Structure 1
Amino acid sequence: MDSKRTILAVVLSIIVLVLFEWLAPHPKPSPKATPTAATQSAAAQPTAATQSAAPTSSVPAAPSTVPVVTSSSAVGEGPSVSFQTDLYTGKIYLQGGDIQNLGLRKYPIAVDDKAPYPILDSSAARLTAQQSGFIATDGQTLRADFSAPQTITDGGPITLSGQAGPLKIEKTFSFDPHTYLINEDIRITNTGKEPWKGSYFDQILRNDRTQSHWFMSIFTGSVLMHNGSLSEKAFSDLRDHPEEHGGPGWAGMTDHYFLQAVLPEPHASVQLYARPAGSNYVAGVQQALPTLQPGQSYTLRQQLFLGPKQQDQLAALGRGLEQTVDYGWFSIVAEPMHGVLTWFHSWAGNWGLAIILLVVAVKIIFFYPSAISYRSMANMRKLQPKLEQIKKETNGDRQQMGAKMMELYRTEKVNPMAGCLPIVIQMPVFIALYWVLVESVSLRQAPFILWIHDLALPDPYYILPLLMGISMFLQQRLNPAPMDPVQKKIMSILPVAFAIFFSFFPAGLVLYWLTNNVFGIIQQYLITRHVMKES
């Protein structure tokens, strides 16, 4: 069997596998049908101990159906209070007491636009906002009108005071200076003359904009963590299969690099939901409150996570948030690879150098199988004159030529399949690295050298893909030439095809492949020269 045909098949298989990873949906938990909703939805969770007089009844279970919020107020309109911390700059709107505009100060919009990335935005084009309120047992939705202090201390807590029907509300936002967690303390006092019973909801409202880049398939949609199981739903799936789950957990929205999530206390029994809301979508949490007698108070505590999907930081929070970083089918390889890449970066200080060091580590790990492969190719190249002689003797009889070639391989103790070994072994590594580079927010806008200002985007001048194509051409010169003319033409086209194909890849991935080729060429050249000198 001609080893070049096998190598060609394997190379084409790589392309098919990569395309499959881009285009095929990742496995998701089976959808659980729930009632459809219109407009804006309700959700929340109760947590925490009471203050003032304790409620006379225990916290009831959350209702089986999440009510619909029918607030007519426009998102992002009305009076607001501005604030700034080390990590955020934003606005809290006093109608509802929600954060509807929030920028991440350490994450610019783009390399050439240093404005904070708007993780929450009330504009129609980028609509992503927090919404919260109360729902009485009769279905009435209550959203408080708040007042705020005249002066907001940078980084300090913000306390709003307001009224929602018979409920006096004091809502305090406090900001963790080291993480993207925002603590919410909501103190509820029944100022009416009758007992009040209902629930609190907190949700993320988002339009259906999605993200994509040529071949890249980037998940955008809702995420629900319920009883330790993460459920992800694209907006198109939510339209047909809205979700609702009971039990401990959290809910939110995610896109390429960022996550917006409502986090009840870890063991709180809540209703989690994700569903359409008119032309938009909501994902949130609803928590039943205890019955409040006149004059009684209750304090509910929860958190918001509004920030980047830094895997290590998410894992440290202990809520399963790190599962929103989706490495596809090869997570078992990608997760440790991300750890190794991060470790290299910790002392190299440059993600491009970290990728090069990762290549060195991979080449060391696969040094022995690669050596077997290159020795096999060198032996095949050494047999080239004899193979050409067999081709002439058989006069185009493929069956006879195949039999004589196999006999020659057995006599010379050459395994033509050995040349495919490193390619097959490294396919999972290559695909896993693709997802690490695509999903890791650390590489977003990470510069390398000179013209490479963002390793997560394609090379703007196509220099790396061109160099990679040249490296493939040089590598082919070290391999035995195909005997079939058609096959020879196909192999000669591959470097050009791969250079074009890789011009759409993240620059970091092309850098990995180029560096891998360079080290491979050096190793193969040395082995080939040694084998050709042998008698």
Structure 2
Amino acid sequence: MFSRLIITTSRSSRVVFCSKPWSTVTVTQPGGFLHVPHCQNSTEASKQSLYETLFNKDSPPIAFAQQVLETGHDITHLPWWANIVATTVALRGTITLPFAVYQQYIMAKLELLQPEMKAYAMRLKKYVVDKQKTQNWTERRSKIFFKIQMKRAITNLYIRDNCHPFKRDLLIWVQLPMWICLSFALRNMSGAFPGKQGQEMGVLVPAMQTEGTLWFPDLTQADPYWILPLLLGISNLLVIEFHALRPVEPTKFQRRVTMFFRCLSVAMVPLAASLPTAMSLYWTTSSIFGLTQNILLKFPKVRRVCGIPKTSHESRTPYKDMYQIAKQKFQKKTRKE
């Protein structure tokens, strides 16, 4: 904890944070400068306080994630490498998988609304054109009226079918915090980063040093052969390409987003190779689970079991169609070259 001390001079006042109580701090003024021992300015203290609050081992979400991992280890008595894999699969299967199914459900509902939206837009456009002719509406008034009425109609349709587009993004708002918390929990448990004030934190769970497997017997050390980081990069790229192979031509913005995530997936490889194997094992397991999840949710039978409505763009042979799309894109690129 830091004590706040306000120092006032003839020119200005300044707030500093001290590691000692204010009553024990002595202030001298040699050469016209104030010196306060064991103090730091408010900006440095606030930065350190924010970091400690969010990412240290005592942070509530990080501590809870660590407790989940340790509880799974105590209950199952699995070695730590198997416990990390089992906990990842259990959490993804019980928490993120239902949200992924719900995301597909909302996307299907939104697709089913498109014909109704287009039909209403055509009727509204005819109504506006008629008003321009009979009541001399200006172009500006016509556009404003069309936008307001169209927005109101779309909102009513979202409410009627309970499928607001915001609900598509619930998955990322659940999955990303869980991924961050578990990553930092494993970081702290393996002693990968220094603790407070640059001091070595040390390995919090010594069993991780001996409960690895195969080529990574020590989970607190980086993967010496880069096998897990490469698997992570490959699985992430497969997920991205899986979403990129759509029958609809992507927009310029969508192409840029896809390229950004491709670069991010490649950048994750050297990052994972420099971190403890415990973290890269978790990342790889989570990525492979996500890839498997996306593959399963493409099958029409699986979608019906999950209650996802059938749409006009749904294919009975999704992977055959994806292969044809990939083949066409490859041929188009070769022709340009």
Q: TM-score, normalised by structure 1?
A: 0.33
Higher CA-based Rg: 1
Q: Provide TM-score, normalisation by structure 2.
A: 0.49
Answer 1 or 2: which has greater strand percent.
1
Greater helix content? 2
